[in-house]
Chain A
Amino acid sequence: MNIVVLSGKGGTGKTLVSTNLVKYMKANYIDADVEEPNGFIFLKPAIKEKIDVKVKVPFIDKDKCKKCFKCTEFCRFNALAKTSDKVLIFDKLCHSCGGCKIVCKFDAIEYVDKKVGIIEKGHSEGFKCSRGLLNIGEPMAVPVIKELLSNLGGELNIIDSSPGTSCNVVNILEHADAAILVTEPTNFGLHDLDRAVKLVKKFNMPFAVVVNRVTEKYNIITKYCSRNKIEVLGQIDYDKDIAIMYSRGELIINKEKYLNIFKALSSKIKEKWL
């Protein structure tokens, strides 16, 4: 059972919800926000294993290349460029499709490994933790996400997603059985929640909303949810104590009053999805 925690808008509390939920439910934690994974700050796992994530990129044998530029014409990602006297490779744009190697009539193109990130695996108190880390400067996170989510076990896995509704999130959702959408009662929070809802609906999976930074019980998010018949799983107060604990890298379930929020969230999740 894989539950994805996503949001639409960034900075609404995906990591807050996923890390505390993982700890409370003794689920496995997977940080798939590979461009800026920060869940380990709170769960502090002992890392036991590091695995390189590699992609294939073209390498051109200059002696064999006859400058026909069939490969540069073919590459729809513009990862290969034509110049006056050679083919230039922009490997950050390459999607490793293999097309250039196929169209090359002179067998001048080989595919070589390029490291784009790593997967770290470890465990905290009684549950497994893993995360993907994209190398700084690498624009494409999808290979790291795919590798990270490729061999998840059958137990309860909570996946901390990246924000937005981009290919990163789409790839994460492909591995999900249910989704928790975390947002905040602001216009931005609502706007991006709506986008995330539209995306999740395309996957035809059950989902529900958690509202964070709540100052009024009836707010623009709860109104949106009741209008659209979306269940609100829980609401977390806009509370300075949470900000203080979070900034120290502490889990908020260590405090009684927040523990109760996650107790309630957990029992609703079990009742609905498990």
Chain B
Amino acid sequence: MKIFISAESKEKDSLMDPRFGRCQIFSVYDTETKEIISMDNPGYTSGGGAGIQASNFLIDQKADVLITGHLGPNAREVLKNSTIKTYTSSPKNINEILKDYLENKLVETTN
């Protein structure tokens, strides 16, 4: 299972970026390999519709879970029509957020 967290940087202890569409980096945790890799968010440089582009990127990357601060209406509409589960967190260190998620402490975003 692949867990995407919107992040401020590629650093291992980066803070979560509360923005989804315009975050620069996605930190991606793979529950099988137990590794975190980082990916550039194409929405970061998008001229418009960043949330839609970021959502499409997650679908292409076969993401299972997204953890972010806030989802805009367009991104929400796309993700609602996908199998990706979204969770909201306050902007903390991504490792703490991952721990919260694995301990079922995060609340799933309701549409």
Contact = CB atoms under 8 A, between A and B. Distances in A.
A binds B: yes
Interface of A: 72, 76-79, 81-86, 88, 90, 93
B101 to A, nearest CB: 22
Contacts of B81: 83-86, 88
A77 B52 CA distance: 10
B49 A84 contact: no
Contacts of B56: 72, 78, 81-82
Given A82-B60, A88-B77, A93-B52, 8 more contacts: A76-B47, A77-B47, A77-B49, A78-B46, A78-B48, A81-B74, A84-B81, A90-B52
B55 interface: yes
B48 A93 contact: yes
B90 interface: no
Interface in B43-61: 46-50, 52-53, 55-56, 59-60
A269 to B, nearest CB: 38
A81 B52 contact: yes
B-side interface mostly: helix
A47 to B, nearest CB: 34
B47 A90 contact: no
Nearest to B56: A82
User: What class of interface size applies to chain B in its complex with A?
Assistant: 10 to 19
A90 B50 CA distance: 12
A87 to B, nearest CB: 10
24 contacts: A76-B47, A77-B47, A77-B48, A77-B49, A78-B46, A78-B53, A81-B55, A81-B56, A81-B77, A81-B78, A82-B56, A82-B59, A82-B60, A82-B78, A83-B59, A84-B81, A84-B82, A84-B83, A85-B81, A88-B78, A90-B49, A93-B49, A93-B52, A93-B74
A81 B75 CA distance: 9
A79 B78 CA distance: 11
B74 to A, nearest CB: 6
Contacts, number: 44
Contact of A84 (B48, B50, B59): B59
A82 B81 CA distance: 9
Contact of B82 (A77, A79, A83): A83
Contacts of B52: 78, 81, 90, 93
B79 to A, nearest CB: 8
Contacts of A85: 81
B48 to A, nearest CB: 6
A97 to B, nearest CB: 13
Contacts of B49: 77-79, 90, 93
Closest 4 CB pairs of A and B: A78-B49, A83-B81, A78-B52, A81-B78
A77 B49 CA distance: 6
B84 to A, nearest CB: 9
B82 A90 contact: no
B80 to A, nearest CB: 8
A84 B84 CA distance: 10
Contacts of B60: 82
Indicate the member of B50, B55, B56, B82 with the most A CB atoms within 10 Å: B56
Contacts of A82: 56, 59-60, 78
Nearest to A75: B49
A167 B83 CA distance: 38
Nearest to B73: A90
Nearest to A72: B56
Nearest to A85: B81
A90 B74 contact: yes
B11 to A, nearest CB: 28
